A = this chain, B = another copy of it.
Amino acid sequence: MSVGVWLVGARGSVATTVVTGAAAVRAGLVPPLGCVTEMPDFAAAGLPGLDELVFGGHDVASTPLTKRAAELSHAGVIPARLLEAVRDELEAADEEIRPGLVAGFGPQCTDAARLIADLTSFRVRLGLAGVVVVNVSSTEPPFPARACHADLASLERAMAAPGQVLPPSSLYAYAALQAGCGYVDFTPSTGARLPALDELARARGVPYAGSDAKTGETLVKTALAPMFAARALAVRSWSGTNLLGGGDGATLADPDAGRSKKVSKDRAVSALLGDGVDGQTHIDYVPPMGEWKTAWDHVLFDGFLGVRMTMQFTWQGCDSALAAPLVLDLARLTARAHRAGESGPLPALAFFFKDPIGTDEHRLTVQYEQLRRWANELP
């Protein structure tokens, strides 16, 4: 029986790469590189197969996925030879994309109702065993806290009145949870991280996970920082510069949205190395970088007798190619968890996130072991 993957931002680079890649792997045209859940460690975990995933989503844009795929091919993300082979799957997904939220003046409960209807229709029409909503849209600026976020009853009262009480990511999360769908925050946006939405998830018996997938600099940080900690080396500063060209680069160039990201990026270092670490993190929008990103990190540390040493690294990656397989992993794992009866946050998915919900574990290798064990022990 099939499982639905509903992508918020369904016409973006990540979503297009998700649909293209799933089709290409399914057809045996490329190996499942980057897909954690395709490794032998997860073969017995009872996850839905890649060939059981069906795609749909919301987006405010209307460019057909086939056109987006051609653009990504030109940018070096999707091999040209795959375009023809995955055309049918892209068109099928295109059919299941509904208009995204546009900020309006009416009450948000009206918007929510429409989103819920879209999700329900998707599930029912296609006879899906379940649906997982994954937010892969642009990063939002931080949204100010409101009293009504504290509990579900207050929230729903506020949503019934005109005005924006939830940022879009949280409205999508609300709709997903209400519709009985798992929800995953792939971005640092607020999403499901509000007491009222946690209450809703538990009440509806659906799991959620997040936030902000680690695909580059932070991924490396969470692999390296435990090394310094385990060797009793005192990290004095950790400085980073990220050069991004793609859509998210433009978004993060906005200081407000960039702030969301930096906060989320910094959490790992302080969790792993304590608060005494100096240094800033920059996110620069460099349009000629296109779909590519480069991060340079500089670490200053003291060893025995106070001897000062340094480590630097450069990570040169393709954002969509790093992100897309994780979307598949997260959808499969969340669908499996839902089937197993888990509800509320899924801390076992910390392995995927810069700012994992429900846990303070940031050591990458430990996160992997926890993920592996959890997935294989699900009832």
A309 engages B316 (CB within 8 Å): yes
Interface of A is mostly: mixed
The reply to whether the CB of A274 lies closer than 8 angstroms to some CB of chain B is no
Q: How far is the CA of A379 from the CA of B312 in the complex (A)?
A: 41
The reply to whether the CB of A322 lies closer than 8 angstroms to some CB of chain B is yes
Chain B residues, CB < 8 A from A239: 241, 243, 284, 286
B33 engages A234 (CB within 8 Å): yes
A110 to chain B, nearest CB (A): 38
A241 to chain B, nearest CB (A): 4
Q: How far is the CA of A374 from the CA of B254 in the complex (A)?
A: 49
A320 to chain B, nearest CB (A): 8
Pick the contact of A311 from B39, B234, B315, B321 — CB < 8 Å? B315
**Assuming A278-B287, A306-B30, is B298 touching A296 (CB within 8 A)?**
yes
The reply to whether the CB of A88 lies closer than 8 angstroms to some CB of chain B is no
Q: How far is the CA of A304 from the CA of B279 in the complex (A)?
A: 28
A121 to chain B, nearest CB (A): 30
The reply to whether the CB of A251 lies closer than 8 angstroms to some CB of chain B is no
Closest-by-CB residue of B relative to A290 is: B308
> How many residues of chain A are within 8 Å of chain B by beta carbon?
75
Q: How far is the CA of A223 from the CA of B228 in the complex (A)?
A: 10
Pick the contact of A219 from B20, B227, B286 — CB < 8 Å? B227
Q: How far is the CA of A311 from the CA of B216 in the complex (A)?
A: 10
Residues of A within 8 A of B (CB): 17, 20-21, 24, 30-36, 38-39, 76-80, 82, 219-220, 223-224, 226-227, 230-234, 236-237, 239, 241, 243, 278-280, 282, 284, 286-289, 294, 296, 298, 300, 302-307, 309-318, 321-322, 324-325, 351, 363-366, 368-369
